């Protein structure tokens, strides 16, 4: 993990620590950086899900290429690879 990530607080706070533990230990990020990343992923998946739901009801509405399954899979793989680096 990254040793340059500051702890959430100098002393362990039982209310704050659970929010910081996962981002720090599993992603090497701060709470806010991890939250921004997770929110970005969720918005992207929400957009893809919404267009697929719309397409299910109105099949004549095309799915934009950047939101289709192939591009969504590529997007997730790319973001996951970015996190591993």
DSSP single-letter state for residue 67: G
Locate 49 and state its tokens: 């899900």
CB within 8 A of 64, min separation 6: which ones? 51
Residue 39 lies in a domain: yes
Number of residues assigned to the chain: 85
Which range marks the domain in which residue 71 is found? 17-84
Residue 8 lies in a domain: no
pLDDT category at 55 given cuts 50, 70, 90 is: very high
> How many structural domains compose the chain?
1
Residue 75 lies in a domain: yes
Residue 48 lies in a domain: yes
Cα 47–chain centre separation? 13
State if pTM tops 0.75. Answer: no
Of 10-24, 26-40, 57-71, the poorest mean pLDDT is in 10-24
């Amino acid at each position: 993990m990254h040793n340059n990530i500051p702890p959430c607080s100098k002393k362990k706070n039982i209310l704050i620590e659970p929010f910081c533990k996962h981002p720090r230990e599993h992603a090497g990020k701060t709470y806010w950086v991890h939250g921004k990343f997770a929110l970005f992923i969720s918005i992207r998946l929400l957009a893809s899900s919404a267009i697929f739901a719309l397409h299910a009801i109105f099949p004549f509405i095309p799915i934009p290429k950047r939101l289709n399954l192939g591009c969504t899979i590529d997007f997730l793989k790319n973001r996951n690879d970015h996190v591993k680096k």
